[in-house]
Structure 1
Amino acid sequence: MTKTVNILLIPADNRPVSYSLPIFIGEQNRNVKVIVPPVKLLGGLDFSADISGILSWLEEAISQERPDFIICALDTVAYGGLISSRRCDDTKNTILARLEQFKELVKKAGAKVFGFTSIMRISNNNVNEEEKEYWDKYGVLIFKYSFLSHKTKADKATDAERHALKETEAQIPAHILEDYLNTRQKNFRINKMYIDWSKEGVIDFLIYGKDDTSTFGINIQEAEQLQSLIEKADMRNFVRIQTGSDEVCSLLTARAIQEAFDKRIKIFPVYSTEHGCSVIPLYEDMPLSESVKRQLNTCNAELAASEDTADMVLLLHSPVEKQNDFIFPNPDIPPNLQGANFCVDFIKNSGKPVILADVLNANGSDPILAEKLLSESGILDKLYGYAGWNTASNTIGTALSAGISRYIAEKTSCFDVDVFKKLMFIRFADDWAYQSTARRRIREITPLADEKLLYSELLPVIEPLAKKLNINTEEITLKFPWNRTFEVEIR
Structure 2
Amino acid sequence: MERLNKIAFIPLDERPCNYEFPYLLAQGTGIQLARPPQDMMGLKKKPGDTDRLWSWLEQECGDADGAIVALDTLLYGGIIPSRLHAMEHSQVAERLQKLRRLKQINPQLRIFAFQLLMRCPQYSIADEEPDYYGDWGREIFLQGYISHRAELGIASMDELEELADIERRLPEEIIDDYMRRRSVNIAVIQDVLELIAEGLIDFMIFPQDDSAPFGHTAKDQQKVRAMISDRDLELRTYMYPGADEVGCTLFARMVHEGMGKTPLVYPRMAAVQGPFVTPLYEDRFFYESLKYQILAAGGLVASSAEEADLILLVNTPGETMMEADSQQHPFFSYDVYRNIIELVEYGDYMLRHKGKPVAVADVGYANGADHKLLKLLKQKGMLFELAGYAGWNTSSNTLGTVIVQSMLYLQYGRTPQHMDFLSLRYAEDLCYCSVVRMALNQGEVEAMGLSKFELDGQRGEVSRLVLERLGAELEKRINGGWGRVEVIDCYMPWNRTFEVGLRVRYHPGGPS
Q: Give the TM-score category using the shorter length.
A: over 0.9
Name the counterpart of 1:100: 97
Structure 1 residue 406: deviation in Å? 1.0
Paired with 2:105 and 2:236, the residues of 1 have a C-alpha distance of 20
- Structure 1: gaps of 5 or more residues: none
Greater CA drift, 462-471 or 476-485: 462-471
On the 8 A contact 1:425/1:469 being kept in 2, the answer is: no
Alpha-carbon distance in structure 1 between the residues aligned to 2:286 and 2:348: 24
Distance 2:468 2:384 in 1: 29
Which deviates more from structure 2 when the two are superposed, residues 309-318 or residues 149-158?
A: 149-158
Spell out, residue by residue over 1:23-67, the C-alpha distance to the aligned partner (whole angstroms, 9 max, x if none). 1222242x222111112211221311111111111122123xx11
Secondary structure of 1:446's counterpart equals helix
The structure 1 residue matched to 2:472, chosen from 460, 466, 478, is 460
Give secondary structure in 1 for the equivalent of 2:115.
Answer: strand
2:31 is matched with 32
Distance change (3 Å), C-alpha of 1:432 and 1:336: farther
* Residue 240 in structure 1 maps to residue 231 in structure 2: no
Which residue identity is paired with 1:160? D
Offset of residue 163 of structure 1:
3.0
Candidates 64, 80, 86, aligned match of 1:67 = 64
- 1-side partners of 2:294 and 2:374: how far apart? 25
In 2: Cα distance, 1:3 partner to 1:431 partner: 33
CA drift at 1:2: 9.7
Q: Does 1:10 align with 2:2?
A: no
Describe the SS at the equivalent of 1:308. Answer: coil
| Aligned 1:363-378 pairs, distance under 5 A | 363-377=367-381
What secondary structure sits across from 1:236 in the alignment?
A: coil
Which amino acid is 1:90 matched to?
A: M
SS at match of 1:113: strand
1:375 deviation in Å? 3.9
Partner SS state of residue 380, structure 1 = coil
Q: Deviations over 1:91-113 (max 9, x none)?
A: 32322222222332245322111
Answer with 337-346 or 136-145: which moved more.
Answer: 337-346
Is contact 1:149-1:165 (8 Å) kept? yes
Decide whether the 8 Å contact of 1:13 with 1:82 is kept in 2. Answer: yes
Contact kept, 8 Å, 1:26 with 1:254, in 2: the verdict is no
SS in 1 for 2:111: strand
* Residues 4/160 of structure 1: CA separation in 2 closer, same or farther (3 Å cut): closer
SS of the aligned residue for 2:318 comes to coil
Secondary structure at 1:407's aligned position in 2?
helix
Unpaired runs of at least 5, structure 2 = 456-461, 504-512
When the two structures are superposed, what TM-score results if normalisation uses the length of structure 1?
A: 0.93
Cα shift readout 1:309-330 (whole Å, capped 9, x = no counterpart): 21112210011101110257x9
Note the C-alpha offset of 1:344. Answer: 1.9
Classify the secondary structure of the residue corresponding to 1:383: coil
- 1:397 maps to 400
1:41-52 alignment to 2 at 5 Å? 41-52=40-51
| 8 A Cα contact 2:264 2:302, kept in partner | yes
In the TM superposition, 1:1-400 aligns within 5 A as 3-29=3-29, 31-63=30-62, 66-109=63-106, 110-326=108-324, 332-334=329-331, 336=335, 339-350=339-350, 351=354, 352-377=356-381, 379-400=382-403
Normalization by structure 2: what TM-score?
Answer: 0.89
Contact 2:427 2:485 in 1 (8 A): no
Please state whether the residue corresponding to 1:437 is helix, strand or coil. Answer: helix
- Corresponding letter in the other structure for 1:211: D
Q: Deviations over 1:445-479 (max 9, x none)?
A: 11443212212322222357477676783x61011
**Aligned 8 A contact 1:28 1:406 in 2:** no
Which residue in 1 is equivalent to 2:493? 481
SS at match of 1:235: coil
Q: 1:289 to 1:37 in 2, by over 3 A?
A: same
AA partner of residue 217 (structure 1)? G
Are the counterparts in 2 of residues 421 and 469 from structure 1 also a CA contact under 8 Å? no
Match of 1:426 among 424, 438, 441: 424
Q: In the alignment, which residue of structure 1 is the partner of 2:463? A: 451
- Counterpart CA distance in 2 for 1:75 and 1:256 is 20
Report the identity percentage: 30
Once residues 221 and 472 of structure 1 are traced to their aligned partners in structure 2, the CA distance between those partners, rounded to angstroms, is 45
Distance in 1 separating the partners of 2:19 and 2:61: 19
- Distance in 2 separating the partners of 1:48 and 1:87: 9
CA 1:392–1:472: 2 relative to 1, 3 Å = closer
**Greater length-normalized contact order (CA 8 Å, ≥ 6 residues apart):** 1
Q: Counterpart of 2:436 in structure 1: which amino acid?
A: A
**Which AA in structure 1 matches 2:93?**
L
- Measured in 1, the distance between the counterparts of 2:426 and 2:483 equals 14
* Cα distance, 1:278 vs structure 2: 0.7
**C-alpha separation in 1, matches of 2:479 and 2:25:** 19
Q: Structure 2 counterpart of 1:340, which letter?
A: I
